[in-house]
Amino acid sequence: MNARLTEPGAPPRGVARKWRALPSARRSVFSSLNLLATAALIGVLFIMVNFVASRRYARWDWTRARITDMSDQTRQTLLGLREPVSAIVFYQPSHRLYELVGDLLREYARVNPKLDVEFVDPEQDLARAQQLVGEFQIDVNSAEALNLVIFKSGDRHKYLSDTDLADYDTSTAGLGGEPRVKTFKGEAAFTAAIHGVTQDEQPLLWSTTGHGEKALDSEETQGLTGLRQTLEQQNMKVETVTLLERTEIPAEVKLLLIAGPTHQFAEQELALLEAYVQRGGRLLALIDPLADANLSTLLRRWGIALGADIVVDPERQLPFVSAANLFVTDYTEHPIVRKMKTLMTLFPLARSVRPHEPPPQGVTVEPLAVTSDKGWGETQTSNQQFQFNDGEDLPGPVSIAVAAERGASAEPPAPATRMVVIGDSEFVVNAQLTNVGNRDFFLGALYWLTEQEQRIGIGPKPVESIKLNLTSGQLTGLFWLSFLTMPLCCGLVGAAVWWRRRQ
């Protein structure tokens, strides 16, 4: 019995015979229909793939600064949203922050669709722009009226201006150039704004006055308007008060700030402070050296010792300045500073602040930032040249900031108390707040004191400006490479392929 085999992949003989028997016109129609059906199926498949990809995709930020790479704290905030939040980018597309703002907010919306992002061009969409101006009472005469990001949830809203989102390098502004974006603070500002419009209440902060404290409304270099703006960005309600005019510090005060006093607190004020912290108050004290504010006894009862010294560190000395100008890179594992390992904090003039031995019962006191082993606490504060004197000076490493905590207890009844004391206030003045890790250090203390540890570690990100400077000869070479050499090479390759096929 003979078997007739066909080549692999060839159609059955009967099918091939019938196909050849068809008239050529009908074969052409069937071929065209087959081609159209194949094209239609490929088109449908292309549409389906793009539809799925538009809703199920992943993005990676490969830039060095990781501008759009969000922290775990921000992701937790977004995933915890229980009500819709609107983000309105009221920006001109030509603005230098437009792309940075848009990319980051799109990442926010990708994490949680409850965040709706709307882009409004105030020059092109005049009707929508006028509606926003009326709804949010935007001052159209202000310089930043056309460049805002507005967050809204329910009847609460908050808007962020250009300066809230970036720090600028103005060194080139005087030479006819525009200020350069030095750091982008979008993530910290956006996350704080979302907290602000979704929180049910606005925490109240009191800042003391009457003892030479630095003023929160002063725009001078030694003022604290930048700090006040930072506090308000964190949804804090800030009030400046004189304790002598008060009979008590009410329970709704979530945090008490003492910023650089130069004169002593009265006994009546000290009694108010003691009563406040005893019933669970939160205290943030920035106490400069060379000033006696009469707070040492109160702080010692909470396990904190203020040194009558100036902390110097030749190992961490900045060029051309005194060794008393500290930059600190050594931190402990406390939650306030645990994520600051790659940042340094500048303290223009600091005193030692360390745990007092023995610590009070039930109170835990931990250092936050310390000098190197070569640093010390100089007790001869009037000397211009510093030299360590064994037995008189405090040997290093020297602590310049501490955090104290007393947990809640039932016997005896006592609420939880938290306190942070830093031996310098100038690191948060207008001239210093944006330097390296200064703002991060302050915000870490603020978040820990207000029990928002999940927000610690969201800092500004540097924006790199890469320039390629070419000489005229290099530009000429680049021109010929692009417009002559590369096309000629492609032509030669094509000619070689043609010649080989001909052979």
Q: What is the pLDDT of residues 121-166, one digit of tens each?
A: 888 888 888 888 888 887 777 766 678 899 999 888 888 888 788 8
- In-domain check, residue 194: no
Containing 120, the helix (H) or strand (E) segment is strand 115-120
Q: At 71, is the pLDDT very low, low, confident or very high (cuts 50, 70, 90)?
A: confident
- Together in a domain, 221 and 325: yes
Highest mean pLDDT among 304-313, 405-414, 468-477: 304-313
Which comes out higher in pLDDT, residue 312 or 386? 312
- Together in a domain, 130 and 232: no
- Together in a domain, 154 and 269: no
Q: At 474, is the pLDDT very low, low, confident or very high (cuts 50, 70, 90)?
A: confident
Of the residues 425, 449, 473, the one at which a domain ends? 449
What is the rounded distance in angstroms from the CA atom of residue 281 to the CA atom of residue 275?
Answer: 9
| The token pair that represents 349 in the structure block | 């003039």
Q: At 66, is the pLDDT very low, low, confident or very high (cuts 50, 70, 90)?
A: low
- Together in a domain, 179 and 307: no
Of the residues 432, 449, 466, the one at which a domain ends? 449
Q: What is the mean pLDDT of residues 290-305?
A: 93
pLDDT(60) > 90: no
The CATH number given to whatever domain includes residue 112 is 3.40.30.10
Tell me which residue range forms the domain holding 299. 204-449
- In-domain check, residue 17: no
Q: Report pLDDT for 156.
A: 85
- Together in a domain, 175 and 227: no
The pairing of strands 399-406 and 363-370 is antiparallel
Q: Report pLDDT for 467.
A: 54
What is the rounded distance in angstroms from the CA atom of residue 89 to the CA atom of residue 104?
Answer: 11
- Together in a domain, 106 and 248: no
> What pTM, to 2 d.p., does this model score?
0.71
- Together in a domain, 129 and 228: no
Q: CB 460: neighbour CB atoms within 10 A?
A: 21
Count how many domains the chain has.
Answer: 2
- In-domain check, residue 470: no
- In-domain check, residue 464: no
- Together in a domain, 227 and 375: yes
Which comes out higher in pLDDT, residue 9 or 498? 498
Of the residues 415, 434, 449, the one at which a domain ends? 449
Q: Report pLDDT for 17.
A: 57
pLDDT(482) > 90: no
| The token pair that represents 330 in the structure block | 């050594």
Q: Report pLDDT for 176.
A: 56
- Together in a domain, 166 and 309: no
Q: What is the mean pLDDT of residues 33-42?
A: 84
3-state percent helix, strand, coil for the chain, nearest multiple of 5: 35, 20, 45
Q: What is the CA radius of gyration of the chain?
A: 33
- In-domain check, residue 54: no
- Together in a domain, 413 and 266: yes
- Together in a domain, 165 and 247: no
Q: At 1, is the pLDDT very low, low, confident or very high (cuts 50, 70, 90)?
A: very low
pLDDT(21) > 60: no
The CATH number given to whatever domain includes residue 418 is 3.40.50
Which comes out higher in pLDDT, residue 175 or 207? 207
Q: Report pLDDT for 417.
A: 94
- In-domain check, residue 332: yes
What is the percent of the chain where pLDDT is above 90?
Answer: 38
Q: What is the mean pLDDT of residues 257-264?
A: 96
- In-domain check, residue 338: yes
Average pLDDT value over all residues in the chain:
84
pLDDT(18) > 60: no
Listed range (4-18, 64-78, 487-501) with the worst mean pLDDT: 4-18
Highest mean pLDDT among 22-26, 28-32, 448-452: 448-452
Q: What is the mean pLDDT of residues 326-342?
A: 90
Q: What is the pLDDT of residues 194-251, one digit of tens each?
A: 888 888 778 899 999 999 999 999 999 999 999 998 898 888 899 999 999 999 999 9
- Together in a domain, 86 and 222: no
What is the rounded distance in angstroms from the CA atom of residue 267 to the CA atom of residue 8?
Answer: 103
Q: Report pLDDT for 238.
A: 95
3-class DSSP assignment, residue 114: coil
The pairing of strands 363-370 and 330-331 is antiparallel
- In-domain check, residue 63: no
Q: What is the pLDDT of residues 343-367, one digit of tens each?
A: 889 999 999 999 998 888 889 999 9
